[in-house]
Structure 1
Amino acid sequence: MSSTALTRAQAACRAAFTLTLLIFLALASVLVGVQILGLVLVQPGWISWASDALFTPSIGAAVLFGLVAFVSGYLNPGASEE
């Protein structure tokens, strides 16, 4: 792989890493936030809705983030190689 192609792949992995992390954190934060609001405002429907609607997408985003992190670990040089 040429140096330019490797640099582009590293930049793409870094962007994908950041994007998937932000998506996961946003989904998980909304999930927990709505559940806390439902608990404080005594709205059990909110707690159930948040779990039903956001739990699976949050887990899916976490898995995608983990896969992107795994792949980017192979493309980005680590501290042990230096």
Structure 2
Amino acid sequence: MQGCSDGEFCEWTGTNYTGTFSVSHAASGVCFNGSNYTRSLQNRTHRYVQLWAGTDCTGFLGGVSSGESWPNSPIRFQSYRAI
């Protein structure tokens, strides 16, 4: 597994932190468009990260608390924003 460092929001295309890895520092209040291929994630941003169904943070789905890790994400999302 590629590591997710302090202050980062990390995504993997496979379950259990496998596949293609991408990372963001997820600045507070800024919407980031993802890929909809995320199957596992870690939130190390020290912020709550909102997950959105559509691009540009439209269609709120739920969120990931600081420190949470999801080895098999139950939510498919296309964008996210730390608050």
TM (norm. structure 1) is 0.20
TM (norm. structure 2) is 0.20
For CA contacts below 8 A with separation 6 or more, give which structure has more relative contact order: 1
Compare CA radii of gyration and give the structure with the larger one: 1
